[in-house]
Amino acid sequence: MKILLLDKNHPLITEQLSQNGFALEEDFSSTYDEVSAKISGYDGIIIRSRIPLDANILKHATKLKFIARVGAGMENIDGDFAQKNNIALISSPEGNRDAVAEQVLGMLLVLMNRLFIASEEVKNGIWKREENRGEELLGKTVGLMGYGNMGKAVAKRLSGFGCKVIFYDILPNIGDEFATQVSLEELQNEADIISLHLPITEKTHYIIDENFIKKVRKNFYLVNTARGKNVKTKDLVSAIKSGKIKGAAMDVLEFEKSSFENLEAQNPDLDFLLHSEKVLLTPHIAGWTIESKEKLAQVIVDKILAQFPRP
């Protein structure tokens, strides 16, 4: 089988698949149109986010047996086209769930205890104690939106902090010893902190908007390490200004490029987030650790070999 790699990943992918009889070609520079012109020659494709594999490009992939994404989200692949044409879809959320969970905890601790702000003040000769009084996670109710690999890893980490962890998910009966499944209304009624662990779909696009925020009973903290377009930025900014959202930790932003490489444009709402003391921002790095780079790659290799064993 001939496999095309469109993004740089851990070298173990090339090493292990080559050892198992696959022929691999790396192409990290071709454009969408150039990939479209050559895609017919491959049995498999391994990607991250650089090239969207929509129906227009996949219609040329007449030999394609699988698409493997080194990561969790599959929104840059036309899943309906793949299913209709018997193209297997492979992802590796198991590989970076621990890294995501650790970042969620880290961002919450920094945000709720004003650690970054206090550190910057002290470095500039400012010594404020009462103004930097923080809040504890102990006793808080954390509401997780989505309880897949990422949500479960976060709940497990929170078990040592004395929190009550609840979650909402469209799949029924998936609660465990770390979190209790509730209705969306119950989550909105009880949560002190809401953390997003959702894919981006028609139903989850702007799921956090003015209407959702109004239905949350308490003033709350928001964490988003999922997808930027899960949150309507304009409504987030309004809620922060009003105090309804006490603080936001955002690893992903609505205005990211589809490849996650940078921000697409500047606007007043983004400018507010960039300058607000109540907002902690990182450049889409939840799940982006030294360890997760290797684990993501290994999960992909293992799944490919399981589905397409070589003689």
Tokens 């992903």 sit on residue = 252
**CB burial readout 24-39, b (16+ within 10 A) else e:** beeeeebeeeebbeeb
Alpha-carbon distances of 8 from 114, 128, 284, 297, 304, rounded to whole Å: 36, 45, 17, 11, 18
What distance in Å separates the CA atoms of residue 255 and residue 274, rounded to the nearest whole number? 12
Beta bridge partners of 90: 68
Q: Which residues contact 221 (CB under 8 A, 6 or more apart)?
A: 108, 111, 112, 192, 193, 194, 245, 246, 247, 248, 249
Q: What is the CB neighbour count within 10 angstroms for residue 81?
A: 17
Query: Considering 25, 284, 291, 294, which one is annotated as catalytic?
Result: 284
* Strands across the sheet containing 279-281: 180-181, 164-168, 141-145, 193-196, 220-224, 245-250, 279-281
60 noted as active-site residue: no
Residue tagged active-site, from 69, 157, 227, 254:
227
CA distances from 9 to 42, 52, 108, 194, 199 (A): 19, 17, 29, 32, 22
3 state DSSP class of 77: strand
Where would I find the beta strands (DSSP E) of 155-230? 164-168, 180-181, 193-196, 220-224
Positive or negative torsion for Cα 99, 103, 104, 105? positive
Question: Any catalytic annotation for residue 227?
Answer: yes
Sequence-distant (6+) residues with CB within 8 A of 131 are: none
Q: Quick check: is 284 catalytic? A: yes
C-alpha–C-alpha distance, residues 7 and 70, integer Å: 9
Catalytic site residue from 94, 190, 256, 294:
256
Question: Looking at the annotation, which residues are catalytic?
Answer: 227, 256, 284
